[in-house]
Amino acid sequence: MDKKDRDRHAAERSYAECQEELAELKVDYKELQEELEWKEGIEIELKEVKEELRSREQREEERRDMITVLGASGFDRSFLEEHAPTPPSVTNDNNKRVNEVRNLNQEVEGSRRRVVALEGRIQGQEEELVKMRLKHSKTNEKLGQVVMEKDGLLKELEILKRRLVEQEQGKEATLSISGNVMGKSKESREKEVIDLCED
């Protein structure tokens, strides 16, 4: 294998490596998209839970205010607390919702950290890909030069082959003429000369 073939194989290997890196980058990008979609879904759910929690807290606050006002007006406070309209299982639901919000916050924070890590990884791979594309561009340029040189050499080889064939044909013709002249007798050659002079 000569140098040009080695350069060509090296260029082809570099191109294949670049394609593999690009495939890996696409996989990482897909994972990042899925992670972002999951995070967006969690954030929407978290917003809904917070809104419901605020609504329940507001109703509970309104209930306490009503008990306070009626109690100040002379109503039996214990009776009011027992019979005032209360959101069903508000305390238990609030505790449950608080825990849900806390868990969702932790999940969102964990997702955010994973997204940041993936973004950093993607950025690093994009920078590496830019370098590889630059290297690949130079490799392609070099490969193109190698191909052009090879084509030039092949054309030159064809020209040399044609010249060799022409030279061999000329040599055979020369030998044939020489053989014909050498094969004639002295008298025949003299007669040919005389005939030419008479003509």
Residue 196 lies in a domain: no
Which CATH number does the domain housing residue 151 bear?
1.10.287
How buried is 32 (Cβ within 10 angstroms: 0-12 exposed, 13-18 middle, 19+ buried)?
middle
Residue 193 lies in a domain: no
Number of domains in the chain: 1
More confident of the two residues 110 and 85: 110
Residue 71 lies in a domain: yes
Neighbours of 17 (CB within 10 A): 13
Residue 177 lies in a domain: no
Among 99, 104, 97, which Cα is nearest to 39's?
104
Residue 98 lies in a domain: yes
Residue 37 lies in a domain: yes
Residue 185 lies in a domain: no
Looking at residue 90, what is its pLDDT?
Answer: 46
Residues 6+ apart with CB under 8 A from 128: 21
Range of the domain at 21: 3-163
Report whether 99 contacts 53 (CB < 8 A).
Answer: no
40-94 pLDDT, tens digit each: 777 787 778 778 878 878 877 877 777 677 666 666 666 656 655 555 444 555 5
Looking at residue 48, what is its pLDDT?
Answer: 80
C-alpha to C-alpha distance for 168 and 162, rounded to whole angstroms = 10
Categorize the per-residue pLDDT at 27 as very low, low, confident or very high, splitting at 50, 70 and 90: confident
Residue 172 lies in a domain: no
